[in-house]
Structure 1
Amino acid sequence: MDEPVLLTGAGGRVGQAILDGIGDAYEWRLLDREPLPAEKVPAGVDDGDVYVADITDEEAVREAVAGVGAVIHLAGDPRKNAPWDSVLRNNIDGTQVLMSAAVEAGVERFAFASSNHAVGHYETERKPDLYREDDDFRLDGTELPRPGNLYGVSKATGEFLGRYYHDETGLSVVCVRIGNLTKDHPPREYERGQAMWLSHRDCAHLFDRCLRADYGFEIVYGISENDRRYYSIERAKEALGYEPRDNSAEFTFEGEPRGGESPE
């Protein structure tokens, strides 16, 4: 992609995983509501390409999105217990402002960071069995949302906004229902976290595919190739060319790699 990529929420965990993994592969514009420390900005990104702004600031968002070819939208209130006034402003209104500005600017691809919380209540009657390898229950992205909290409601709404803007304007939108992102190993002694684990390098690779693949509208799950999982990643593989390399089963419950070797 010759045009820049706008990354919102660049200073957060997901944003940093993406920049650590594919920071050298693209020309970036970064947006965050707080100034980014120098260590969080990839080499080669000029100060003029780093925006400090609220995602609901329409003027600032239009400026940041002008001339970019793709958007990865991560910004918002990430708290699973966030109150309604915050998720309404930061997650729903902010996503609508950015999608609208992207359409006006002629952006081709829009990757929206959705969440496992958009489907949290599918687990309610099935846990803990669905977290285990011998359970064959799978969510594949075709199911309707069943949010487990108001944060999940905001992410489901973001998916609906993506569907609307795709159908109305032709914007290519992929919604990634991100699982449990941790860097070095899956959560220790936590079945659910291991079932939905997403490693940093798989996260970066998945969003790289969101920037390179051809698609119309997709909802996919963002997890690694875990033996124990209740999210299907087949659609991410088929539609995006996702090829995860990590698996929570490679680790013991103590979080140490099996065989004594450290992961890359």
Structure 2
Amino acid sequence: MSLVLLTGAAGRIGTVLRGGLPERGWAVRCLDVVPVPDERPGEAQVVADVTDLAAMEDATDGVDAVVHMAGISGESTWAAISHANIEGTYCVLEAARRSGVPRVVLASSNHATGYTPRPGASLLTEADAPPRPDTYYGVSKVTMEALGSLYVDRYGLDVVCLRIGSAFAEPTTTRHLSTWLSPADTVSLVDAALNAPDPGFSVVWGVSANTRTWWDLTAARALGYEPADDAEVYSEALVEVHGEPDLADPVHARVGGEYTTAEFDAENFEKP
């Protein structure tokens, strides 16, 4: 059984992967800055900070791949984002290189290209959505992808960046009808990224097979991803509460949604 280091294992997506990856044949070494609750049989546990390069070298020793989910999962101050998300990604990739780990899967985000307009009749491919970050958080994901590209070209790692949409147990807004990534599909996507032969540097959208999707999943399917879920099963209830999406509203008109609005201006996240 191959061994994967899962960073951010105590987080929302990390918890989903802790349950799902062993069912796909992966042994999981869990890493977080806090102890992972409800330790499961066969799990290895590491309490460490991904920005501690020495600790990450120890954690990556002997693993076959790294799935990097740790970091701040929304907007914050530049100091916090740059430390946790940018420095953390560097340490993960550098530790993997030093330890001889051949593959790293990185949790990027749609917010790396958040100011991209919502598509019309055709779906957005990854090439249609170059970096247009909507926040410091989005900048950290652009940088994550750039670091991944560097480590592929310079050091020969395989790096797959997943531009994750809205990874929740179920959709809670009408925007999620387009952007939802279900728990089961989260596991399938990461498993595909871990198993795809020779992906080199790949950036793929991370969403379910949503009827209202904005994103073309051709590149993700090429890795072996076969999404099974569709947010449309929740549409009737969500539309009844919220109404049909107003496509002129930035929340629905841009890939980054509410992250592109004034609510997410940087000064709103500075400490008083």
The interval holding the TM-score normalised by the smaller chain is 0.7 to 0.9
Aligned pairs, how many?
236
Q: Which residue of 2 aligns with 1:156?
A: 142
Report the residue type matching 1:144 in the other structure: P
CA displacement 1:79-108 (0-9 Å, x = unmatched): 2x2110011110001100110110111111
Cα distance in 1 between the residues matched to 2:29 and 2:19: 15
Displacement of 1:137 in angstroms is 4.1
Task: Decide which of 180, 185, 189 is 1:197's aligned counterpart.
Answer: 180
TM-score when scaled to structure 2? 0.83
Q: Which residue of 1 aligns with 2:89?
A: 95
CA displacement 1:3-25 (0-9 Å, x = unmatched): 31000000111111112222342
| Structure 2: runs of 5+ lacking an equivalent | 240-272
- The correspondence of residues 33-182 of structure 1 with structure 2, limited to 5 A, is 33-38=33-38, 41-45=39-43, 49-79=44-74, 81-123=75-117, 126=118, 130=119, 135-142=120-127, 143-182=129-168
Q: Which residue of 2 aligns with 1:249?
A: 232
| Maintained 8 Å contact 2:176/2:231 | no
Cα distance in 1 between the residues matched to 2:134 and 2:140: 11
| Maintained 8 Å contact 1:23/1:42 | no
Q: Which residue of 2 aligns with 1:260?
A: none
> In the alignment, is residue 228 of structure 1 matched against residue 212 of structure 2?
yes
Report the residue type matching 1:201 in the other structure: A
TM-score when scaled to structure 1? 0.85
| Maintained 8 Å contact 2:30/2:36 | no
Cα distance in 1 between the residues matched to 2:97 and 2:184: 30
Cα distance in 2 between the residues matched to 1:107 and 1:255: 44
| Maintained 8 Å contact 2:21/2:27 | no
Cα distance in 2 between the residues matched to 1:155 and 1:181: 16
Report the residue type matching 2:158 in the other structure: S
Cα distance in 1 between the residues matched to 2:176 and 2:54: 39
CA RMSD of aligned residues (A): 1.5
CA displacement 1:168-214 (0-9 Å, x = unmatched): 0110000000000111x322xx3321100010000001101111111
| Maintained 8 Å contact 2:21/2:28 | no
Q: % of aligned pairs identical?
A: 40
Cα distance in 1 between the residues matched to 2:226 and 2:238: 23
| Structure 1: runs of 5+ lacking an equivalent | 257-264
Report the residue type matching 1:234 in the other structure: T
